Structure 1
Amino acid sequence: MAARFEWRTSLCATDFPAAAYEALRLRVKDHTPFNTLAWMTASEQALTAGQRLHVLLGWQGDELVLCLPLVACVERFAGLPFQVLHHLGYPLADRLALLASMDAGDVRKALVEIRRHVPHALLQLNELSEPVGEESLLSEWMAHSSTGERRISCRVPVHVISDADHQEVSGDPRYKLRRARKRIAACGAQVRRITPDASTMGPLLQAISEVEAVSWKGDEGVGIFADERHRQWMDRAFTALAAQGLVRVVVLELDGRCISYRLGLLEQGRLYDYNLAFLPQYADLGSGRVLLEEWIRWGLDEHWRWIDASRVSLENSSHQLHERMTGQLEHWRWSFYSWRPSGLALGGALRFWQRLKPGVQRWKARRAAAVKPAAEAAPAAKTATPAAPTEKIMEGEHASPSHSQR
């Protein structure tokens, strides 16, 4: 049976088919908490005046087989405005599954429907996960775009919880963990696990947002509570998710005050380590490593199966889960350039850059090699400089690029 398509302008409308949406979400095996209607509606309410939501629904009979909520906005490339489409939730949705249960022919028709209804230069879907060993339905769109690009966004470290976790971790992580525990015990701080509900999520978010605000994330404006819009977005999303029992938090408290935390989402036995921060005056405690260990212990107690880093930097990631990872999951960014003049121009620019980039990289490498001997010859004694953000992250607190204001 061929799919029929329908456009909606809101996920929050009273007549939106919420039950059909949830049934589709649960049929897609790699769905995440960021696919929940709770997260999506909060994301919709956070849209700005220059953004428009277009929700494409695909039906086969009475069964929903596609839901693709797209946000249309204008982005500038080389100073020129272009119409761009992103999946709703970008850039704070750390991992998404494509909510589609249809054959290749209907997927191709969906792309035609999108181009007809929402003319654009670029359709970009970020942080998509894919079932291992299966070809993505989106491959069909590559052949029908003026330019198509599939590139990896990040490789997320994953820890599979097992009986081995009952034993103390070995090697250098054990030394770091022991040292952090001693420092925390010496100052009298306590680790606490929290499973908030809708009534307690708000006060908890207020407490952890105050920690983030005075941390280096707050100083640099890269946190999930960076401004009022993001703050309201997170409050709506996590309150709704807490009502469904999907939120977990581990905090380090001193005299009843939160001084460090890790905020996570739990679904299908998988804990997504979404956000963390600490008060700068307690940076030397190494609390991030201790709280990560608490995730693992909590998982043992409640029979979780995985702990994921949610999202990391593609290059030089310093997330502490790398020390404990047993595998990795890949996130992908798909870019589809239309056949409109604007899409042809952007796609052509991308292809030109892809040809030019290797030469630029070789030139930068030669330049760096030439500068290095001069730098080594310079006097070694220099005035100490403050710790860079990378060094702060290495101390234990990871800032995901998807948590930044892009």
Structure 2
Amino acid sequence: MATALTGLTFEKISTEEEFAALGDSWNELVRAMPRPSPHLLHQWLLAWWRHYGTGNELAVHVAHRGNELVGALPLCVRRRHGLRVLSFLGAEQIALADLLLAEDEGAEVGAELAKHGASTGHDFADFHGLPSSSRFAAALGPSRLELIVRAEAPVLELNGSEWEAVYRTRLSSKHRGLHRRRCRQLARLGTIQTTVARTRDELAPALEVAFELHALRWRGRPDRSEFGTPRGKEFHREATAALAALEDVVRIVTLKLDGRPIAFVYYLALEGTMYCYRLAFDPEFQRFSPGLVNRYDALENAFAEGVTRVEFLGGMERYKMELADRTEPLFEGLGLPQSLAGRLVVSGRLNGIRLRRYVKRSSAIRHFYYEGLAPARRLFRIGTGS
């Protein structure tokens, strides 16, 4: 009897050359996602693997119906502290990660891909950026993969509104007044200009400016992102150039004062959605709020290009929540242990998360930690020289 799997062939892609050959057919699957992720576009993932894949194992599972690519699960096995960790390509740098299916393929195909992915040799799995509607997580089930909220991910639905209408109705009069005041103050300092880079030739210099502003913004402060690292810079140079050549999804909006860049917003536009990615400003101009001014410039540009939805991603910062309709959280998925060491790591991490949640809910324990244990924590800091 014929089933949904009849006529399908499944394969594991384990070399860069094999993955590179998938090309355009891969991006068609990304665009068919319920919540398409630009971080799953072929050019983005291939560039990430080239710069972060050394010493790791490529494990991309694909499904073909005849010669047509109809499903894919972009995984890799990374080595961390002597253990093999199954994760999405993109690891912690990815958002809205999930398995990919052609529009006319059913859940059975996704379940089979998930089965193949879970059978990849590893110690435990750690998947970042999963949406709440993840087909991959649903196929595995909660007993095999536990989901933990990692980002609230605010979302703005435009519903055909113009930017001016959203600006006027979503922002308070006080906030609009602050924005106008900052614009006037900056204009008194010199000539203000906003540029939008989207072609390969425009993006290359705009990206270098973004690196410089990012470094200024985070100088002397802990920066857990990869954006400003040597490897991170090389990755973004390759990814933005490749995407600009074939997909036209990258935008870098830069605010300049007398030709000097003072703020940038780096976002991706895919299937009518703006995905906010990175922003920073020159702290020398902090009292003039150039980041605030440039954020609204970037939103206005995205609206003018016809976006109908904004994925702010990340946390619930005030400027996001003032505009957002709701949050659609992103999750980290932990589980699928295949070894004793893997089981111990998953159990330890999940128990640690549960303990932190319990402590946050209990006012008595919070008081004990912050007040009762304060002398011990101070003594520990002195003893460790920190």
**TM-score computed with the length of structure 1 as normaliser:** 0.78
Change (3 A) 1:31 1:366: same
Q: Could you say which residue in structure 2 is the equivalent of 1:395?
A: none
Q: Which residue among 288, 292, 295 is the counterpart of 1:289?
A: 292
CA distance in 2 between counterparts of 1:166 and 1:48 reads 43
CA distance in 2 between counterparts of 1:126 and 1:355 reads 18
Q: Report deviation, 1:193.
A: 3.2
Q: Could you say which residue in structure 1 is the equivalent of 2:137?
A: 138
Q: Report deviation, 1:345.
A: 2.6
Q: How does 1:6-405 map to 2 (within 5 A)?
A: 6-13=11-18, 16-76=21-81, 81-101=82-102, 102-116=105-119, 118-131=120-133, 136-142=135-141, 145=144, 148-161=145-158, 162-163=161-162, 164-165=165-166, 167=168, 169-216=171-218, 219-243=221-245, 244-309=247-312, 311-313=313-315, 317-318=316-317, 320-350=319-349, 352-353=351-352, 356-357=355-356, 360-361=359-360, 362=362, 364-367=365-368, 370=371
Change (3 A) 1:122 1:170: same
Percent identical pairs in the alignment equals 21
Moved more, 358-367 or 55-64: 358-367
CA distance in 2 between counterparts of 1:154 and 1:143 reads 19
CA distance in 2 between counterparts of 1:358 and 1:165 reads 36
SS in 1 for 2:152: strand
CA distance in 2 between counterparts of 1:140 and 1:50 reads 29
Letter in 2 for 1:140: A
Q: Is the 8 A contact 2:74 2:99 kept in 1?
A: no
CA distance in 1 between counterparts of 2:243 and 2:213 reads 21
Letter in 1 for 2:218: W
CA distance in 2 between counterparts of 1:15 and 1:165 reads 41
Letter in 2 for 1:87: F
Q: Deviations over 1:108-150 (max 9, x none)?
A: 443443354x32121222112355xxx73422313673xx201
CA distance in 1 between counterparts of 2:138 and 2:338 reads 17
Change (3 A) 1:223 1:341: closer
Letter in 1 for 2:96: R
CA distance in 2 between counterparts of 1:236 and 1:12 reads 17
Moved more, 167-176 or 185-194: 167-176
Q: Is the 8 A contact 1:260 1:288 kept in 2?
A: yes
CA distance in 1 between counterparts of 2:17 and 2:329 reads 31
Moved more, 340-349 or 262-271: 340-349
Q: Report deviation, 1:238.
A: 1.1
Change (3 A) 1:178 1:358: closer
5+ residue gaps, structure 1:
375-406
Change (3 A) 1:17 1:216: closer
Q: Is the 8 A contact 1:337 1:346 kept in 2?
A: no
CA distance in 2 between counterparts of 1:262 and 1:351 reads 35
Moved more, 351-360 or 266-275: 351-360
How many residue pairs match? The answer is 360
CA distance in 1 between counterparts of 2:253 and 2:112 reads 46
Change (3 A) 1:103 1:335: farther
Q: Report deviation, 1:237.
A: 0.8
Q: Report deviation, 1:57.
A: 1.0
SS in 2 for 1:215: helix
5+ residue gaps, structure 2:
376-386
Alignment RMSD, CA only? 3.0
CA distance in 2 between counterparts of 1:15 and 1:358 reads 42
